Amino acid sequence: MPPLFSPFPLRSVTLRNRIGVSPMCMYSATDGLMNDWHLVHLGARAVGGAGLVIVEATAVSPEGRITPDDAGLWSDAHVEPLARINRFMKAHGAVPGMQLAHAGRKAGAASPWKGSGHLADEAGGWATLAPSAVAFSAGLHRVPAAMTPADITRVQADFAAAARRSLAAGTEWMEIHAAHGYLNHQFLSPLSNHRTDAYGGGFENRIRFLLETTRAVRAVWSERLPLTVRLSCTDWVEGGWDIEQSVELSRRLKAEGVDLIDCSSGGAVPDAKIPAAPGYQVPFAAQIRREAGIATAAVGLITAPAQAEAIVREEQADVVLLAREFLRDAYWPAHAAKALGISLSAPPQYARAW
């Protein structure tokens, strides 16, 4: 059995293989409600053989949405549309995961195919929150309000409430989004966090918001189910967040009951020089796994079956997450299995073709 296709147990959940669908924004929800697009997009990849399917960055509050078209989980009305999708994915053998997010200063933008930049209030935009009152870029130019202690408490409660709703919807694998320049990462990085209170300054203060958010989520999330965190392991900027801080943060997160670190990078500032190449973030997953003693997921320009297989075989990561490659091929696990010399058992409807 190729290691890529060995089961992966974490708490009381077992992935049927090491292949996961990375959370990807579909910008296709209305008022945060998931719909048939999400069912077909996510459901097809469960049928395609993924062991784990992580639902896109799902906003914990309306103002935490990247765009007006983001999925959300800020009200009980959001639960049943997600539960329907989760039931389908589970029925087809995938563990249904979810990524909870708050975009902070990057919130309130147009979806990519509608222009990407910040929306004016008249065009459907809204006031944003962040650790410090500093805009992201010329395109995401809205200046956020620096969060007050009351804002911090409220947003952390929003994360916990959304996690509770996700649990009610049947989610079995939770990821807190703390990467890509969104709110949690904005607190971690000295490039976006200029606070002078207990939430800014040195490492201990910059990690405080995420540690407290994690604690609030772990308190309502099931002991039987995995809790994971996505980090940008480096900002790719001198003087920014880096891999050494990510290793130490991973140790602290493990102590809070986090089971796996999903290792991405970038997104804190617009002008970083990112050396994107096949598997360029895999070394971060390997280093955190080795030095923090916690399971990791590798993500980023992973496309080839032999490449994914080597990452797991060489114990650089426990799980590989594919994003764009899964948009090209919903059946990537079945195709990868064939390339590695085994065959997946097909759903009976498709059995004559697999």
Active site residues: 182
Cβ-contact 174, 224 below 8 angstroms? no
Q: Could you tell me the smallest distance in angstroms from the CB atom of residue 131 to ligand 536?
A: 18
Instruction: Pull the structure tokens for residue 325.
Output: 């490659």
Residue 285 sits in the site that holds ligand 536 (CB under 6 A): no
20 in contact with ligand 536 (CB under 6 A): no
Orientation angle between helical segments 243-255 and 282-292, nearest 10 degrees: 50
CB of 186 to ligand 536, least distance (A): 13
Q: Which helix (H) or strand (E) holds 66?
A: none
Nearer to ligand 536, 43 or 266 (CB): 266
According to the binding rule CB under 6 A, does residue 96 interact with ligand 536?
A: no
Tell me if 27 sits within 8 A of 68, measured CB to CB.
Answer: no
CB within 8 Å of 193: residues ≥ 6 apart: 131, 132, 186, 187, 199, 200, 206
- Note whether 298 binds ligand 536 by CB under 6 A: no
Q: Which of residues 47-66 bind ligand 536 (CB under 6 A)?
A: 57
Selected from 19, 21, 25, 320, the binder of ligand 536 by CB under 6 A is 25
Q: Would you count residue 104 as binding ligand 536 (CB under 6 A)? A: no
Among 41, 180, 206, 208, indicate the residue that binds ligand 536 (CB under 6 A): 180
| Nearest residue to 314 via CA among 280, 282, 275 | 282
Contacting ligand 536 within 194-223 (CB under 6 A): none
Residue 281 or residue 296: which is nearer to ligand 536 going by CB? 281
Question: Whole-number minimum distance, CB 105 to ligand 536, in Å?
Answer: 13
CA distance linking residue 58 with residue 69, whole number of Å: 11
**Ranges assigned E (strand) in the chain:** 8-10, 13-15, 19-21, 52-59, 71-72, 95-101, 129-130, 145-146, 173-178, 227-232, 260-264, 295-299, 319-322
Per CB under 6 A, does 110 bind ligand 536?
no
| Residue 257 CB, nearest approach to ligand 536 (Å) | 23
CB of 63 to ligand 536, least distance (A): 16
Following CA atoms 85, 330, 299, 250 in sequence, which dihedral angle do they give, to the nearest 10 degrees? 20
Residue number, 263 or 337, with CB nearest to ligand 536: 263
Nearer to ligand 536 by C-beta: 20 or 267?
A: 267
312: alpha, beta or left? (left if phi > 0; alpha if psi -120 to 50): alpha
16 or 180, CB closer to ligand 536? 180
Buried b (16+ CB within 10 A) or exposed e, 65-99: bbbbbbbbbbeeebbebbbbbbebbeebbbbbbbb
Using the rule CB under 6 A, is 72 a contact of ligand 536?
no
Closest approach of ligand 536 to the CB of residue 37, in Å = 16
Q: Applying CB under 6 A, does 84 fall inside the site for ligand 536?
A: no
Which residue in the shown chain puts its C-beta closest to ligand 536? 267
**Can you give the binding site for ligand 536, defined by CB under 6 A?**
25, 57, 180, 266-267
